[in-house]
Structure 1
């Protein structure tokens, strides 16, 4: 989770950002304040990953605040004026949100923060393969859904999206199958076809080139290219594995 602080001299603007943060699964609100001096103290006293920072404030402007911050937290600037964008980016702001802020634009900036965190800081990273869930974007704009690994039966790759099948639900997400394969724990999931990944724990039987699942009528084809590796993985679970 990315810990967030909102700094804005207008309470109405704070309330909007609070609502947006609550709707974003990988963000958590650590605090908010209309006082930039208080905000500097908060950053010193607790771990703040990301600050939504207004530029026009009394006492200290948002740009001066960033200079005092010295890179301790990532910053997304918020303002009703666009003329300070260049200076903000020179100070390494992640993004620049113009008020009034639409949720879709907010989410794009938040995703940029998440992507940056995955590249630079292990503490910020999205769930590792040893964790038991991920969040995925769905067809609904601005919506992200939690997917627990132990609920996944199989994954089907389509042309521009992926279908995650849990037996009870089918989640459509705007990923490609390789991206999702890289996020799933390899000890439990395996590519068995150019268009399919299966949960080894959910397999009921193999009938020719068809993989059958527990409590589910659907089946997945076993591709010739993946056949040898699949049987090797399966052997580890058969009668105590290889002798």
Structure 2
């Protein structure tokens, strides 16, 4: 199906990888390369400005990786992942990505992926709308940062800057000295992905950074609150108090 003004954006921190995609796209006269980005910050702004039909997206990039970028996009274009790592392949297809090209990929493999993307756009097929956060729930390993949406851009929060997290229905509110930010993830996710020596789930509604607790005060006869600042006194459950005492060695 012929498509007018099919725009693509190349997002990769490695120049040779971007050059290869450009070279391979020369055979597609109907495609306009609308731009290149080397990081997720620039990519987010450019995606908003030019509304590409398709992005070639590397996953492992500094500052903000490909999956973190997708988390904060309000409207997502079609995506072809281009990466040297295969551990994200299943997640890519769970996200309804067009394809997952493992570097180094051949011209034939590339052409097949692009034709598939053009067919999707021509047929007005659904773009990636599966919540990326939910796909990442089962990703192992501890978090060192959390990427959140801030206005029309994004903010990268090192986990050591988190004061506490609060459950809010299907979302989690993250409190920092810079403000509070909402994420579409679960408390269970953060409980299992934050270092337990630094973060303790003191209540079903709260996970607190131990280093941010200024004091622990009695709430009533058998319960306590953790004071993290004058505006926030966090209830501590009995099980949370036990875990907190263990981590504090008291």
Q: Secondary structure at the residue paired with 2:195?
A: coil
Q: In the alignment, is the contact (CA less than 8 A) between 1:167 and 1:216 conserved in 2?
A: no
Q: Quote how far apart the aligned CAs of 1:53 are.
A: 8.3
Deviations 1:45-89 (A, max 9, x none): x94779x989xxxxxxx99722999xxxxx68653324xxxxxxx
2:33 alignment partner in structure 1? 14
Question: Is the alpha carbon distance of 1:233 and 1:26 closer, same or farther for their aligned partners in structure 2, counting shifts above 3 Å?
Answer: same
Which structure would you say has the larger RCO, counting Cα contacts within 8 Å and 6 or more residues apart? 2
- In the superposition, the TM-score normalised over structure 1's length comes to 0.54
1:203 and 2:225 matched: no
Q: In the alignment, is the contact (CA less than 8 A) between 1:2 and 1:27 conserved in 2?
A: no
The gaps in structure 2 that reach 5 residues or longer are 1-10, 45-56, 58-63, 68-81, 90-96, 100-104, 219-223
- In the superposition, the TM-score normalised over structure 2's length comes to 0.53
Question: Is the alpha carbon distance of 1:198 and 1:101 closer, same or farther for their aligned partners in structure 2, counting shifts above 3 Å?
Answer: farther
Q: In the alignment, is the contact (CA less than 8 A) between 1:76 and 1:109 conserved in 2?
A: no
Q: In the alignment, is the contact (CA less than 8 A) between 1:212 and 1:220 conserved in 2?
A: yes
Q: In the alignment, is the contact (CA less than 8 A) between 1:53 and 1:77 conserved in 2?
A: no
Q: Secondary structure at the residue paired with 2:170?
A: coil
Question: Is the alpha carbon distance of 1:188 and 1:64 closer, same or farther for their aligned partners in structure 2, counting shifts above 3 Å?
Answer: same
Q: In the alignment, is the contact (CA less than 8 A) between 2:147 and 2:156 conserved in 1?
A: yes
1:66 alignment partner in structure 2? 109
Deviations 1:78-106 (A, max 9, x none): 53324xxxxxxxxxxxxxxx26999x936
1:132 and 2:144 matched: yes
Q: Secondary structure at the residue paired with 1:186?
A: coil
Question: Is the alpha carbon distance of 1:180 and 1:100 closer, same or farther for their aligned partners in structure 2, counting shifts above 3 Å?
Answer: farther
1:81 alignment partner in structure 2? 119
RMSD between aligned residues: 4.9
Q: Given the alignment, which residue of 155, 162, 173 partners 2:183?
A: 173
2:236 alignment partner in structure 1? 222
Q: In the alignment, is the contact (CA less than 8 A) between 1:78 and 1:99 conserved in 2?
A: no
Name which one, 1 or 2, has greater alpha-carbon Rg: 1
Q: Quote how far apart the aligned CAs of 1:190 are.
A: 0.6
Question: Is the alpha carbon distance of 1:53 and 1:203 closer, same or farther for their aligned partners in structure 2, counting shifts above 3 Å?
Answer: closer
Q: How far apart, in 1, do the equivalents of 2:217 and 2:115 lie?
A: 57
How many residues were matched structurally?
179
The gaps in structure 1 that reach 5 residues or longer are 29-42, 55-61, 70-74, 83-97, 120-124, 239-243
Q: How far apart, in 2, do the equivalents of 1:222 and 1:133 lie?
A: 25
Q: Secondary structure at the residue paired with 2:214?
A: strand
